[in-house]
Amino acid sequence: PKADPAKGKVIVEQVCAACHGVDGNSVASTNPTLAGQSQSYLLQQLHNFKDGKRKDPIMMGMVAPLSDQDMANLAAYFSEQKVKPRDATDKTQLALGKEIYRVGVASTKVPACMSCHGPAGKGLPEKYPRLGSQHAAYIVKQLHDYKLGEMRSNAIMADIAKRMSDAEMKAVAEYISGL
């Protein structure tokens, strides 16, 4: 059956809202904001947690009892929520972060994030996730996870993360959080 966001909302209120917010805008910086993310990306990540392709002890537990239809309903619900714009919390490295996001790092061949995730961080539905207004701490963790390749694997992002220093990751994450 077709994805039903109203049915997704029932599960959100009982389970997901505690960490991701009832409208998909999370408060704690380690929990990702899901609002405004594309339906296909959200659904893929839920399947990845379920199949163990993406490893996170909390989320693997969360998806265990969910059916494919539940996950489709949840992805539909969160994709319809509006993301709340936020300001970067640490503004000291914004110039470096902006440079990485918009231009890249020539010496280490880090490509401009903008080329896939978009000039305003909106991503490209069906292809590249939205990053704009995401929590910096969450972004830094994902870049580390791609770099190490144990928790999360993706060929494109692993190659990019391996070229980045911790300081570059932190700077670009802060810039993205204010996009």
Give the end-to-end CA distance of the chain in Å, rounded to a whole number.
36
Among 110, 136, 171, 179, contact with ligand HEM (rule: CB under 6 A)? 110
Site residues (CB under 6 A) for ligand HEM, limited to 47-66: 56, 58-59, 62
Alpha-carbon distance of 119 to 77, in angstroms, equals: 25
For the CB of residue 164, give the shortest distance to ligand HEM in the complex, in Å.
Answer: 6
Q: Counting contacts by CB under 6 A, is residue 100 touching ligand HEM?
A: yes
Among 10, 15, 60, 96, contact with ligand HEM (rule: CB under 6 A)? 15
Residues pairing with 128 in the sheet: 124
Alpha-carbon distance of 8 to 89, in angstroms, equals: 32
Among 86, 125, 154, 162, contact with ligand HEM (rule: CB under 6 A)? 154
Q: Which stretch binds ligand HEM (CB under 6 A): 79-87, 88-96, 155-163?
A: 155-163
* Segments in the chain forming alpha helices (H): 5-11, 17-20, 39-51, 57-63, 68-79, 94-102, 114-117, 136-148, 155-162, 166-177
Q: What is the DSSP letter of 124?
A: B
Alpha-carbon distance of 18 to 20, in angstroms, equals: 6
Task: Say which residues have a Cβ less than 8 Å from residue 105's Cβ, sequence separation at least 6.
Answer: 99, 163, 164, 168
Q: Counting contacts by CB under 6 A, is residue 108 touching ligand HEM?
A: no
For the CB of residue 90, give the shortest distance to ligand HEM in the complex, in Å.
Answer: 16
Among 9, 21, 38, 74, contact with ligand HEM (rule: CB under 6 A)? 74
Residues of the shown chain interacting with ligand HEM in the complex, contacts defined by CB under 6 A: 11, 15-16, 18-20, 30-32, 34, 37, 42, 45-46, 56, 58-59, 62, 74, 100, 110-111, 113, 115-117, 128-129, 131, 139, 141-143, 152, 154, 156-157, 160, 172
